[in-house]
């Protein structure tokens, strides 16, 4: 019978019942591989539920550093009889199935290798506490994997020691659980599995973390002192990351007081209102939410746009529309964010593609919001936000200074004859502002969402209002010069075919580009990182006759933005769309490109 043979290149999928404590064991498995020097991309595929439903955890192990999801499972750790049918079907021919053989089962496939271990029996014999009997099955299969993949078991013993630091009495039983699986596999599964993990050095300079964790830390580094938020999957862990890091890094020495305010609001409307209030008063504040929250916040986003109050909003996108698929990924809030709120509004969007960039763009977002005096939205998605990625180490340059934008001090005001909050003094569309409480008799003004003149006074003069709206367009033009530029796969365009992509698609795209290269198809690729689009974006579009726009949504929202903002003829913009809630894969993109080039329309996914 065929056996899958591979070293440091495979996909393993764990099938569990949610609420059974499997997540931390699965993460530990992934981290063990990472510590062996091989990049991993674990992905948690979970239900919108707390206990009892099927949940999966997929880990791609790839020495070349391809971190996108890949179809086909090489090893299945099937711990949930509810989902056996589905799990067996996904397993590739010649693949390996590990299951709890305390209840023996015939899986009806002759082309796979079944490795049964009576985990329940072993744990019942070894542990007396009923909770431990259940929980330790998870570490049991980690032990099995360490054995059959010929990994260094000590890596896992070290991980257990780290995880339970401070709760020392849990260390010994956890190690015992690991050993149970490991010894059983050593005795019974020797030579059965031809997939191996060999130590490597490909994780040098890398860390394993999620986009939400990185963005929360970025807010600490970016000088945010205020966070108001309302719990919503998949953004919750971003706010929590900010709070956790702040509790370590932002405590005032001597008083133990917090150099930050963290408020769980009553809803998203209050969360954005508080964020705007804090920024209005000169503190850097942010909120984190997902699609439904953006819908709720839209009225306030319009106020911040029109009254020109900085604010930073993280949207960790999930499957829409409506409540949609709260635990699946999509890039489907682009239009809702770019034009959020009634009336003529346009907003700055930053679109990071990995956790390192989430960290960097969080910092950048505060500088841009202060510089431009407008809401800046940072768009992650569930895959990037909640899953751990092998990403570059965080870095900070101590010589970097925050850009607090055009803020007048008491001394500035002293030297001024007349202050006009919305006067375009510098011709870049960005006016000067004052914080409340700065000067006894200069610089006070009324912030309002009603139509106003340059001195912030209410006006119903249509020409005055049109002037303000036109100046805001000028500011938007300035924004396009300040936001991060796109990233290109080659310095000079050499092909008539271009690919445009953004966000978490990046990890799969690198692999697609290599695959196309192997097929001798020369393409140029551009990764968008921000909206409004800068000059480089339009030049790239201009330079190509055919452009594929790869998006994880149904309607080709980025394509719509490009058409609407640049007046680009739709004919040369071909959509490649994936919207099933799973992260897009390299082969999916490649197949759609090939199909289009060979005459099969690729527009509908």
Partner 1 sequence: MTYITKPINHHPRLETNKLGLTRRDYEGAVSTLCAGCGHDSISAAIVEACFQLSIEAYRVAKLSGIGCSSKAPAYFLNQSHGFNSVHGRMPSIATGAAMANHELLYLGVSGDGDSASIGIGQFIHCARRQLNMTYFVENNGTYGLTKGQFSATNDLESKSKYGDENLFPAIDLPSMAIQLGASFVARSFSGDRDQLVPLIKAAMCHKGFSLLDIISPCVTFNNHNTSTKSYDYIREHNEALSKPDFVPLGKEITTSYEPGESSEVSLHDGSTLSLTKLALDYDPTDKIIAIKNIQESQRDGKVLTGLLYADPSAKDLKEILNITDQPLNTLTQEQLCPGKSALKDINDNLK
* Footprint (CB under 8 A) of partner 1, residues 215-244: 217, 220-221, 223, 225-226, 228
124 binds partner 1 (CB under 8 A): no
Residues 242-261 that bind partner 1 (CB under 8 A): 245, 249-250, 252, 255-261
414 binds partner 1 (CB under 8 A): no
User: For partner 1, which residue of 53, 124, 171, 283 counts as binding (CB under 8 A)?
Assistant: 283
CB nearer partner 1, residue 395 or residue 518: 395
436 binds partner 1 (CB under 8 A): yes
Residue 92: both structure tokens together: 């590739």
**What residue ranges in 238-297 does DSSP mark as E strands?**
261-264, 285-289
274 binds partner 1 (CB under 8 A): yes
DSSP character at residue 505 = G
User: For partner 1, which residue of 77, 91, 122, 208 counts as binding (CB under 8 A)?
Assistant: 208
CB nearer partner 1, residue 359 or residue 540: 359
Q: What's the min distance (Å) between Cβ of 376 and partner 1?
A: 16
Instruction: Report DSSP letters for 323-354, one per residue.
Output: T-BTTS-----HHHHHT-SSSS---EEE---S
269 binds partner 1 (CB under 8 A): yes
User: For partner 1, which residue of 126, 299, 454, 555 counts as binding (CB under 8 A)?
Assistant: 299
Residues 498-557 that bind partner 1 (CB under 8 A): none
Q: Which of 522, 568, 521 is nearest to 549 (CA)?
A: 568
Q: What's the min distance (Å) between Cβ of 589 and partner 1?
A: 29
User: For partner 1, which residue of 402, 522, 572, 603 counts as binding (CB under 8 A)?
Assistant: 402
347 binds partner 1 (CB under 8 A): no
Strand-pair category, 206-210 with 388-392: antiparallel
Residue 333: both structure tokens together: 């809030």
Q: Which of 268, 214, 532 is nearest to 385 (CA)?
A: 214
| Contact (CB, 8 A) for 112 and 91 | yes
Which uninterrupted H or E stretch holds 500?
strand 497-502
User: For partner 1, which residue of 65, 277, 324, 420 counts as binding (CB under 8 A)?
Assistant: 277
Residue 577: both structure tokens together: 């769309």
Q: What's the min distance (Å) between Cβ of 394 and partner 1?
A: 5
User: For partner 1, which residue of 191, 440, 567, 599 counts as binding (CB under 8 A)?
Assistant: 440
| Residue span binding partner 1 (CB under 8 A) among the ranges 81-89, 275-283, 377-385, 510-518 | 275-283
Main-chain phi, psi angles of 559, to 5 degrees: -60, -40
Q: What's the min distance (Å) between Cβ of 381 and partner 1?
A: 21
| Residue span binding partner 1 (CB under 8 A) among the ranges 105-113, 147-155, 269-277, 514-522 | 269-277
395 binds partner 1 (CB under 8 A): yes
Separation CA 586–CA 551 (nearest Å): 13
| Residue span binding partner 1 (CB under 8 A) among the ranges 137-145, 167-175, 230-238, 267-275 | 267-275
Sign of CA dihedral 158, 162, 165, 167: negative
279 binds partner 1 (CB under 8 A): yes
CB nearer partner 1, residue 44 or residue 225: 225
393 binds partner 1 (CB under 8 A): yes
CB nearer partner 1, residue 262 or residue 531: 262
User: For partner 1, which residue of 4, 13, 28, 35 counts as binding (CB under 8 A)?
Assistant: 35
- Residue identified by tokens 């367009």 is 473
| Residue span binding partner 1 (CB under 8 A) among the ranges 47-55, 78-86, 167-175, 277-285 | 277-285
Counted residue by residue, the chain has a size of: 605
DSSP character at residue 484 = P
| Contact (CB, 8 A) for 328 and 318 | yes
Residue 126, Cα to own-chain centre: how many angstroms?
41
CB nearer partner 1, residue 108 or residue 254: 254
User: For partner 1, which residue of 48, 101, 295, 447 counts as binding (CB under 8 A)?
Assistant: 447
CB nearer partner 1, residue 308 or residue 511: 308
Q: Which of 144, 145, 115, 131 is nearest to 173 (CA)?
A: 131
Instruction: Give the three-state DSSP class for 94.
Output: strand
332 binds partner 1 (CB under 8 A): no
DSSP character at residue 574 = E
Q: What's the min distance (Å) between Cβ of 311 and partner 1?
A: 9
Separation CA 339–CA 71 (nearest Å): 35
CB nearer partner 1, residue 136 or residue 262: 262
SS (HEC) of 141-187: HHHHHHHHCCCCHHHHHHHHHHHCCCCHHHHHHHHHHHHHHHHHHHH
Count interface residues toward partner 1 (CB under 8 A).
76
**What residue ranges in 240-387 does DSSP mark as E strands?**
261-264, 285-289, 311-317, 348-350, 375-381
| Residue span binding partner 1 (CB under 8 A) among the ranges 124-132, 185-193, 387-395, 585-593 | 387-395
User: For partner 1, which residue of 36, 387, 434, 575 counts as binding (CB under 8 A)?
Assistant: 434
CB nearer partner 1, residue 217 or residue 549: 217
276 binds partner 1 (CB under 8 A): yes
CB nearer partner 1, residue 171 or residue 251: 251
Exposure string (b/e) for 487-522, b if CB count within 10 Å is 16 or more? eebeeebebebbbbbbbbbbbbbbbbbebbeeeeee
Residue 183: CA count within 13 A, CB half-sphere: 7
């Amino acid at each position: 019978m065929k056996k899958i043979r591979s070293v440091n290149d495979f996909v393993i999928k764990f099938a569990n019942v949610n609420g059974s404590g499997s997540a931390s064991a699965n993460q530990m498995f992934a981290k063990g591989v990472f510590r062996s020097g091989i990049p991993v991309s674990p992905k948690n595929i979970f239900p919108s539920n707390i206990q009892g439903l099927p949940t999966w955890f997929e880990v791609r192990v790839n020495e070349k550093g391809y971190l996108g999801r890949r179809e086909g499972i090489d090893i299945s750790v099937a711990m949930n009889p509810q989902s056996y049918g589905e799990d067996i079907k996904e397993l590739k021919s010649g693949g390996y199935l590990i299951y709890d053989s305390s209840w023996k089962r015939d899986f009806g496939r002759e082309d796979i290798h079944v490795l049964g271990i009576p985990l329940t029996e072993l744990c019942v014999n070894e542990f007396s506490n009923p909770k431990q009997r259940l929980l330790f099955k998870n570490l049991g299969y980690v032990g099995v994997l360490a054995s059959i993949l010929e990994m260094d078991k000590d890596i896992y013993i070290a991980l257990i020691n780290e995880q339970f630091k401070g709760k020392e009495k849990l260390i010994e039983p956890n190690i015992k659980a690991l050993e149970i699986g490991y010894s059983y596999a050593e005795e019974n599964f020797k030579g059965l599995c031809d997939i191996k993990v060999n130590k490597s050095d490909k994780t040098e300079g890398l860390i394993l973390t999620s986009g939400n964790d990185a963005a929360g830390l970025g807010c600490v580094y970016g000088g945010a002192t205020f966070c108001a938020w309302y719990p919503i999957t998949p953004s919750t862990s971003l706010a929590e990351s900010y709070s956790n890091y702040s509790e370590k890094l932002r405590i005032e020495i001597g008083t133990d007081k917090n150099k930050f305010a963290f408020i769980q609001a009553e809803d998203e409307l209050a969360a954005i209102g508080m964020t705007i209030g804090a920024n209005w008063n000169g503190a850097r504040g942010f909120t984190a939410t997902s699609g439904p929250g953006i819908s709720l916040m839209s009225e306030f986003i319009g106020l911040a746009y029109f009254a020109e109050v900085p604010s930073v909003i993280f949207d960790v996108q999930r499957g829409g529309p409506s409540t949609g698929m709260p635990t699946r990924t999509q890039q489907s809030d682009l239009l809702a964010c770019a034009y959020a709120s009634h009336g003529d509004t346009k907003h700055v969007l930053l679109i990071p593609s990995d956790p390192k960039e989430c960290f960097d763009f969080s910092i950048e977002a505060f500088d841009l919001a202060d510089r431009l005096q407008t809401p800046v939205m940072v768009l992650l998605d569930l895959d990037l936000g909640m899953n751990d990625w092998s990403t570059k180490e965080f870095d900070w340059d101590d010589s970097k200074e925050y850009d607090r934008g055009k803020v007048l001090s008491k001394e500035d005001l002293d030297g001024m004859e007349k202050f006009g909050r919305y006067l375009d003094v510098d011709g870049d569309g960005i006016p000067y502002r004052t914080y409340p409480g700065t000067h006894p008799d200069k610089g006070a003004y009324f912030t309002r969402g009603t139509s106003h003149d340059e001195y912030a006074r209410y006006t119903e003069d249509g020409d005055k209002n049109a002037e303000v709206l036109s100046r805001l367009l000028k500011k938007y033009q300035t924004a396009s010069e300040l936001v991060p530029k796109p990233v290109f796969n080659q310095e000079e365009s050499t092909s008539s075919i271009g690919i445009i992509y953004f966000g978490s698609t990046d990890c799969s795209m690198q692999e697609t580009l290599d695959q196309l290269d192997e097929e001798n198809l020369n393409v140029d690729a551009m990764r968008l990182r921000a909206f409004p689009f800068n000059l480089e974006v339009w030049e790239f579009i201009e330079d190509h006759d055919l452009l594929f726009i790869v998006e994880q949504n149904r309607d080709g929202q980025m394509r719509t933005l490009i058409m609407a903002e640049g007046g680009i003829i739709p004919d040369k913009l071909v959509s490649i769309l994936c919207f099933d809630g799973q992260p897009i894969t390299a082969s999916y993109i490649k197949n759609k490109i090939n199909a289009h080039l060979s005459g099969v329309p690729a527009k509908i996914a």
